[in-house]
Amino acid sequence: MVAAVRYPAGPVRPEQEQHIVESHLRQRGFRWTTQRALIVRMALGTHDHFTAENLLERCRKIAPKVSRATVYRTLAVLEEAGFVAGLDTGGGGRRFEHVLGHEHHDHMVCTVCGRIFEFRDGELERRQEIAARRIGFRIERHSLRIHGTCRACQRAQRGGT
Amino acid sequence: MVAAVRYPAGPVRPEQEQHIVESHLRQRGFRWTTQRALIVRMALGTHDHFTAENLLERCRKIAPKVSRATVYRTLAVLEEAGFVAGLDTGGGGRRFEHVLGHEHHDHMVCTVCGRIFEFRDGELERRQEIAARRIGFRIERHSLRIHGTCRACQRAQRGGT
DNA sequence: GTAGGTGCAAACCTTTTGCAGCATG
DNA sequence: CATGCTGCAAAAGGTTTGCACCTAC
């Protein structure tokens, strides 16, 4: 069990991030290997929602023999430490996103084009807290996913039909 | 693509439900087979959150040769029609729940014991609508899952440590 | 009679694991 | 130099699919 990060939520530059992750892991007795450095760089160097497979491909462009297992194992460490967050988009695979330096947000997934939109509403979080308190549930995290059609796809449907 | 049901959300008795599903599917050109009748009966006759495998077992107690494929295929039809809803509980498998005759609600999943608690808050839905409207997104459905520790497990942890 | 549905088994896809060898601290 | 990490390949879930046979309409 890796303790979760608690670093300022403001903007963080890539080199800083790399360093934060490195020292966080080192302090907890993890080794900082070539592969981990690469995986962390690729995972935090993007703002999209990637799958483990995506990440593997990106890493292999630079180091062709990085193994799938290492990517999964590193993602698990990063997720537990709170540097990335995994989200099931519904339909088997999970996607991951960069958390460090990004504010918490929820997702709207367009069922037509698959694009993911992020949004945030503090009131939503507050209501959840209230609902949880009512039954004595202690929240660790939550995942709110709204499925529907994005503006562009609605327009395309109207135009195309 | 099966059109979604739109039936009164109030309490519905099992025999009524069976009949509603049957006529809904028939009207849309689906055949009402022995297997479907059984699967529907088992799926709607429970109020828990079952996996496809659970459902298969239950069906096989009555008709031992129902195939896994048929259960999956029927669940897909029922889900698309809106009689059951699938939810990823995080960690591979999905679970399904009875929707017909049940009010919409969200879920809290205890990460210790795995139990699922249902709750509902109209304000939550309203805020989501507002957030969606802001970016022109049309909501089809949403899934809010709160992960954490339930009251009983919190007590057990305190007692056990 | 003819779609559509079913059962079986194999295929699939994503993720996890066992193990021998390697590299970090 | 001890242990943790890596790569490989196989295993493990959960779900889907191809196909020949069956059955509801």
Cβ of residue A69 lies below 7 Å from strand C: yes
Q: Is the pLDDT confidence value at A28 over 80?
A: yes
* CA-only gyration radius of chain B, Å: 18
Residues in chain A: 161
Domains of chain A: 10-102 (1.10.10.10), 104-161 (3.30.1490.190)
Q: Is the pLDDT confidence value at A8 over 70?
A: no
Among B1, B96, B106, B144, pick the best mutation site for testing chain A contact (most A Cβ within 10 A): B144
Contact A120, A104 (CB under 8 A): yes
Name the average pLDDT for chain A: 89
pLDDT of residue B144: 93
Cβ of residue B38 lies below 7 Å from strand C: no
Alpha-carbon A92 to chain mean position: 16
pLDDT of residue B2: 54
- The nucleotide closest to B26 (CA, C1' atoms): D25
Q: Mean pLDDT in runs of 10 for chain B (161 residues)? A: 52 81 96 98 93 97 97 97 88 87 90 87 94 95 91 87 62
> What values do phi and psi take at A133, rounded to 5?
-60, -35
pLDDT of residue A13: 74
The closest of B119, B127, B133, B107 to A123, measured between CA atoms, is: B127
Q: Rounded CA gap, B119 and B161, in Å?
A: 30
Q: Rounded CA gap, B155 and A154, in Å?
A: 49
Alpha helices in chain B (DSSP H): 14-27, 34-44, 52-62, 68-81, 122-134, 151-160
What's this model's pTM, rounded to 2 decimal places? Answer: 0.84
Sequence letter at residue B22: E
**Antiparallel, parallel or unpaired: β A138-149 and A116-119:** unpaired
Please indicate whether residue A8 or residue A123 has the higher confidence score (pLDDT): A123
Chain A nearest CA to B99, separation (Å): 17
The closest of B10, B4, B92, B95 to B46, measured between CA atoms, is: B95
Question: What DSSP character marks residue A4?
Answer: P
Token digits for A50? 């990637």
> What values do phi and psi take at A87, rounded to 5?
-140, 135
- Whether residue A136 lies within 8 A of chain B, CB to CB, comes out as yes
% of chain A exceeding 90 in pLDDT: 69
Cβ of residue A67 lies below 7 Å from strand D: yes
pLDDT of residue A87: 87
3-state helix, strand, coil in chain B (%, to 5): 45, 20, 35
pLDDT in tens, A47-95: 899 999 999 999 999 999 999 999 999 999 999 999 999 988 766 789 9
